[in-house]
Amino acid sequence: MTDLAELDRLELQQTLADLGVPRFHGTQIYRWLYKRGVSDLARMTDLSRKLRARLAETVTITTPELIRKEVSSDGTAKFLFRLADGRLIESVYIPDTPAQTFCVSTQVGCAMRCAFCLTGKMGLIRNLTAGEIAGQVRVLAHETGLADQSFNVVLMGMGEPLHNYDAVMKSLRMLADKDGFGVNPRRVTLSTVGVVPAMAKLAEEDLMPNLAVSLHATTEAQRDTLVPINKKYDIEELIDACRKMPLRRRGKITFEYVMLAGENDSPADARRLVKLLRGLKAKVNLLPLNEAAGIDFKRPSDDVVDRFATILADNDVTVSVRKSRGRDIRAACGQLATDR
């Protein structure tokens, strides 16, 4: 049976046309899925009963099943989803950041194995489908009452988005559709550790999200240890790929930098970072490590973080220090991991 949740609106219309059903019913179903959060054909009351009964015999609609929600003391909410095959993933709602933000997963686990990330400890179990990625947003939007409001989407949950390129880009097209949520690409941020060939492909896309590059180190030896993909695509290749990315007017690439006490937080690291980013339209987001059991690094002191940030700012690098959200429920950056 065809899963309508895996289709963009045009594909949905064509699927119905192939069944001899007028195409406009595809738009109706798409609106039910996204704008109303309804995935039960029997409840789609602007379709005739006869059509609903016929579709029930030939198509299905799969939605990630919400099985647990935890709310942090700071208002951040973490959602545990069960997928159709029983696999588990996590997503996060971060309110007032200053916009409302959904952090969604793109894989079950992750193959990148960054040394400070719990998701990387899982290894890669499988890619998510486009419907599973968009499905997280469908559920989150209606669970939070934001389906008819503007919100941001960050692809920073479990997985490396560019390692699941086709499904990720299709999900963004599905979310951007005016008959769905109409999520403007400027409200979407894709985070990557630096899958360079996929970055070159992304540069050619019509639908271009904001880009966040997880750098985390300023020397090749250091990054080889912290971000193993660096052994395949080193810092020089990564920065070169960043220079080739088309940017909107006033747009910048965000460089994410997780700070690890005694590892990459020295003044020398800060000065090397300034040199690496020279000439790039860039901003740096410093993320003091969110400590967790199983991660063999420590969080630097606030003084060390401030010193590092000051060196960047004094050298005309736009810099911010990310406030960790949801740490008490293991929902902060690098802490998403399911138990099986």
Cα–Cα distance for residue pair 149/126, rounded to 1 Å:
32
Other beta carbons within 10 Å of 202: 23
Determine which one of 90, 132, 160, 263 is catalytic: 90
Q: Which of 148, 136, 134 is nearest to 64 (CA)?
A: 136
Classify residue 161 as left (phi > 0), alpha (psi -120 to 50) or beta.
Answer: alpha
Residue 90 bears catalytic tag: yes
Residue 54 Cα to chain centre, angstroms: 36
Cα–Cα distance for residue pair 232/162, rounded to 1 Å:
15
Residue 117 bears catalytic tag: no
Cα–Cα distance for residue pair 264/280, rounded to 1 Å:
21
Residue with tokens 């669970």: 143
Determine which one of 103, 117, 242, 333 is catalytic: 333
Cα–Cα distance for residue pair 37/232, rounded to 1 Å:
42
How far is residue 338 from each of residues 115, 278, 335, measured CA to CA in Å?
Answer: 17, 39, 10
Q: Could you tell me how many helices (H) and strands (E) the chain has, helices first? A: 11, 14
Cα–Cα distance for residue pair 82/173, rounded to 1 Å:
24
C-beta separation of 109 from 158 below 8 A: yes
Active site residues: 90, 333
